[in-house]
């Protein structure tokens, strides 16, 4: 592969596997492609799957603009239980009553989260506080104050016929934490909730349906063949 082709750059749509960090994906692709200048456009938690856009060469300059594009997620909330991390990273730390919750309440609760809302990121997150990641403080047992932020949710819909595990679809802006949405959704129901599965399905016009499994990229030739499909 020519140095010119590498420096021109390109990007791949990756379907991130469960329990891989976003950096795990970049590290693996860096080793396979032998390209040093490579990065991803938007972190996915290890317990999330789905669309991760990986850029290399000059296309790394596009990372910031890709990150600002709207995201779409699907997944499930478990109503009536909470965890410290708001997802399955930590064990259930409290249980709540759910008998009072009706299908109408569930639907009405989703409406209150559509539009510009104030949201507090999880303590177990990659948000930087004084040069360190929030999860580093959380894992060492240090209490830190998480600052709220304004995020935009353009769509939030759920399926009510599988309660207390509730499937959802969310379309939102950069910086939205679906784990925090789960927590806030549970509180809105005068109960509790946490995230039990998450899949990123879209970033802007890019769809996970067109993404590649990491298991399909075994060589440098595979890397560049797949990258060619998404250059433009």
Give yes or no: residues 80 and 183 share one domain: yes
Q: Contact 151/173 with Cβ under 8 angstroms?
A: yes
Domain membership of residue 112 as a residue range: 71-203
Task: Please state the domain count of the chain.
Answer: 2
pLDDT at 2: 44
Q: Which residues are catalytic?
A: 45
The model carries a pTM of: 0.91
Tell me, rounded to whole angstroms, the distance of Cα 77 from its chain centroid. 14
Q: Contact 148/116 with Cβ under 8 angstroms?
A: no
Give yes or no: residues 40 and 155 share one domain: no
Give yes or no: residues 125 and 19 share one domain: no
Give yes or no: residues 79 and 189 share one domain: yes
Give yes or no: residues 128 and 199 share one domain: yes
Distances (CA, A) of 197 to 110, 136, 181: 18, 23, 13
pLDDT at 231: 53
Instruction: Please report, for the domain that includes residue 55, its CATH number.
Output: 3.30.2350.10
State which residues of the chain have pLDDT below 50: 1-4, 232
pLDDT at 144: 72
């Amino acid at each position: 592969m020519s140095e010119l082709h590498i420096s021109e750059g390109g990007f791949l749509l990756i379907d991130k596997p469960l329990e891989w960090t976003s950096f795990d994906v970049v590290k693996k692709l860096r080793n396979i492609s032998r390209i040093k200048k490579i990065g991803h456009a938007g972190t996915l938690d290890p317990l999330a799957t789905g669309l991760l856009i990986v850029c290399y060469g000059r296309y790394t300059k596009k990372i910031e603009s890709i990150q600002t594009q709207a995201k779409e997620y699907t997944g499930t909330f478990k109503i009536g239980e909470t965890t410290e991390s708001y997802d399955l990273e930590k064990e259930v730390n409290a249980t709540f009553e759910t008998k009072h919750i009706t299908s109408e309440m569930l639907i009405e609760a989703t409406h209150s989260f559509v539009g510009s809302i104030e949201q507090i990121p999880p303590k177990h997150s990659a948000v930087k506080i004084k040069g360190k990641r929030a999860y580093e403080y959380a894992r060492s047992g240090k209490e830190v104050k998480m600052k709220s932020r304004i995020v935009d949710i353009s769509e939030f819909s759920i399926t009510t016929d599988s309660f207390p595990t509730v499937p959802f679809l969310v379309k939102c802006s950069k910086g939205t934490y679906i784990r925090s949405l789960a927590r806030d959704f549970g509180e809105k129901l005068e109960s509790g909730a946490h995230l039990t599965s998450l899949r990123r399905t879209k970033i802007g016009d890019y769809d996970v349906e067109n993404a590649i499994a990491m298991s399909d990229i075994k060589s440098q030739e595979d890397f560049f063949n797949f990258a060619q499909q998404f250059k433009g």
